[in-house]
Amino acid sequence: MVMVDDIPFPPQITTTKPLSLLGHGITDIEIHFLQIKFTAIGVYIDPVILTHLQKWKGKSGTDLAEDDDFFDCIISAPVDKYLRIVAIKEIKGSQYGVQLESSVRDRLAADDKYEEEEEAALEQIVEFFQSKYFKKDSVITFSFPAASNFVEIGFSSEGKEEPKVIKVENGNVVEMIKKWYLGGTTAYSPSTISSLANTLSLELSK
């Protein structure tokens, strides 16, 4: 197991095929000099991603972390990607849903892609999280299959029951969720981006 802030993440998970843990980090804020951690994040990607990233071979992790083209390539590469997000601090699902919605909406609006279909897809996500409560160790997952424009979002609390899942099929919304977590310098968790850059720099140098 790989420990991310005392939370165990398996080094590999299998969706349609085995995916490797290539990056991890946390989301946090600082209030009055106190660091408050909200979630731990694991980014799982099909190792075949490396064939799509060869032009960055030889670059350091520090350089890659600053290179948004590199992360755009990760986002658009036709390989399976999977995010596993574990709650460190209890929060209401509605808070998380609204945060995701506003971030994705702002990104869509900036690209002039926010229409009724996108609004409906975001409402579906907000509604899904509305009734949930993220106890410590609750797990949120985002599964992005390789050659498709949808995401399956799952939620399970304390790992007891079967995860509840919704499928979101708006390609623009799906792309911006990926960008929220994997979008290089504009992503939600800089520690995750840095970890992903360092791991891929190392893998590319092999």
What does pLDDT average to over the chain? 95
* pLDDT tens per residue across span 45-58: 999 999 999 999 99
- Inform me whether the pLDDT recorded for 64 exceeds 90: yes
Q: How far is CA 202 from CA 30, 50, 64, 123, 143, in A?
A: 31, 11, 11, 40, 25
pLDDT digits (tens, 9 = 90+) for 121-179: 999 999 999 999 999 999 999 999 998 899 999 999 876 667 799 999 999 999 999 99
Q: How far apart are CA 10 and CA 8, in angstroms?
A: 7
Of the candidates 61, 54, 7, 59, the one whose C-alpha atom is nearest the C-alpha of residue 190 is 61
- Bridge partners (DSSP) listed for residue 79: none
Strands (E), the chain: 2-4, 7-9, 12-14, 18-31, 34-45, 81-87, 91-92, 133-134, 139-144, 151-156, 164-168
The answer to whether 180 and 100 have CB atoms below 8 angstroms apart is yes
**Both tokens assigned to 9:** 């993440």
Place of tokens 């799952």: 154
Q: Are 136 and 88 in contact (CB under 8 A)?
A: yes
Q: What is the pLDDT of residues 173-196, one digit of tens each?
A: 999 999 999 999 999 999 999 999
Assess contact for 67 and 56: CB atoms under 8 A. yes
Query: Rounded to 5 degrees, what are φ and ψ at 67?
Result: -105, 100
- Please determine, for residue 16, whether its predicted confidence score (pLDDT) is greater than 90: no
First vs last Cα of the chain: how many Å apart? 23
Helix runs in 66-115, H state only: 68-76, 93-110
Query: What is residue 161's predicted lDDT score, i.e. its pLDDT?
Result: 66
Percent of the chain with pLDDT strictly greater than 90: 92
| Structure confidence at residue 162 (pLDDT) | 72
Position 78 pLDDT exceeds 70 = yes
d(CA 24, CA 19) in angstroms, rounded, equals 14
Q: Are 184 and 197 in contact (CB under 8 A)?
A: no
